A and B are shown apart, each in its own frame.
Chain A
Amino acid sequence: MSRVAKAYRKGVKVSERHGAGEWTAERLSSLILVPLSLWGLWSAATVSGGGYDGAFAWFASPLNSGLLIVTLLISLWHMNLGLKVIVDDYLHKPATRTTVLGLIALICIVLAAASVFFIVRLALGSAPLPAGFGA
């Protein structure tokens, strides 16, 4: 990732910054999300109206829990990349942009961590929270 390693590669100027990598990452994540989001829609239809017991049974399947973790993590990664493009389009003051991008990244990380924590507990059939946290 060294920025000034090569100014030209095969006669084409190498980017001074890292936008090209993020562009590719956004496409790669969207490609992976095509089948995963179809699975997500189907799963949403399956779980809807099933109540707590239905949801609990759904999460007990490692395939469901595993795929949901993968889907959410890639979605949040894609969301962070996409929101960054919007911010780059509309916010021009470097300080503002840095602050907002940091905030967005923080929200994505918190959502990702919370998702994995909740799903792992549900997959393991753990007692309802706050069990294990002083209650």
Chain B
Amino acid sequence: MSSSNDPTDDQTGRFVPQPNGRPRPLSPHLQVWRFHATMAGSILNRAAAGALSFGAIFIVAWLGAAAFGPDAYASYVAVMGSPLGLLVWFGLTLAAAYHLTAGIRHLVWDAGAGLTPKSATTLTWISIVAALIIALAFWAFLFATGRVSL
């Protein structure tokens, strides 16, 4: 990783001509990173964002099912309340919780705070653990109050 940022002796293939005609370096791709909490936290955050984008379709489908009346709603609940459906929703809850906590972490960084390697790592672990707690508490509540069952 001792490449210079001079596009004329680019050995990395990271420089891509932009629409304004100038070569600009790209951020490194997934495979060039050595494992670290912040790297994993960042990749997981983007994965969560992708999952939530699909989740948006399920939520709009829920609105549509409600708007189409009791029969459509019952069909929706039958599919989404099945074990596989609940697993998908658990994944979406985890993605939502992590995108929330990692997003707050990112806002802290954007404000210029928590940027030393040590505090960046700490913030990342906090965001991962907090997301797990939120998602597990959410589903513990749903099962404990009988709102969902297997």
Residues on A facing B (Cβ under 8 Å): 16-17, 27, 30-31, 33-34, 37-38, 40-41, 44-45, 48-52, 55-56, 59, 72, 75-76, 79, 82-83, 86, 89, 92, 94, 111, 114-115, 117-119, 121-122, 126, 128-130
Q: Which residue of A lies closest to B53 (CB)?
A: A79
Q: Which residue of A lies closest to B106 (CB)?
A: A30
Quick one: CB contact mask for B57-86 with A, threshold 8 Å, 1 for yes?
Answer: 101100110111110111001000000000
Contact in complex: B16, A92 (CB < 8 Å): yes
A129 to B106, CA, bound (A): 42
Judged by a CB distance under 8 angstroms, whether B112 is at the interface is: no
A residues near B142, Cβ cutoff 8 Å: 45, 48-49
Number of A-B contacts (CB under 8 A): 98
B residues near A128, Cβ cutoff 8 Å: 67-70, 72
Which of B63, B96, B146 lies in contact with A37, CB distance below 8 A?
Answer: B96
Which of B26, B60, B93 lies in contact with A118, CB distance below 8 A?
Answer: B60
A31 to B67, CA, bound (A): 30
Contact in complex: B147, A48 (CB < 8 Å): yes
Contact in complex: B100, A38 (CB < 8 Å): yes
Contact in complex: B63, A115 (CB < 8 Å): yes
The B interface, classified by DSSP as helix, strand, loop or mixed, is: helix
Judged by a CB distance under 8 angstroms, whether B136 is at the interface is: no
Q: Which 5 A-B residue pairs are closest in the complex by CB-CB distance?
A: A128-B69, A49-B147, A118-B63, A118-B67, A52-B73
Q: How far is the CB of B99 from chain A (nearest CB, A)?
A: 8
Which of B67, B70, B104, B110 lies in contact with A121, CB distance below 8 A?
Answer: B67
Which of A41, A75, A94, A111 lies in contact with B57, CB distance below 8 A?
Answer: A111
Q: How far is the CB of B52 from chain A (nearest CB, A)?
A: 7
A27 to B101, CA, bound (A): 14
Contacting residues of chain B (2-60) with chain A, CB-CB under 8 angstroms: 16, 19-20, 26-27, 46, 49-50, 52-53, 56-57, 59-60
Which of B19, B63, B66, B104 lies in contact with A56, CB distance below 8 A?
Answer: B66
A27 to B106, CA, bound (A): 9
Which of B46, B52, B63 lies in contact with A79, CB distance below 8 A?
Answer: B52
Contact in complex: B46, A118 (CB < 8 Å): no
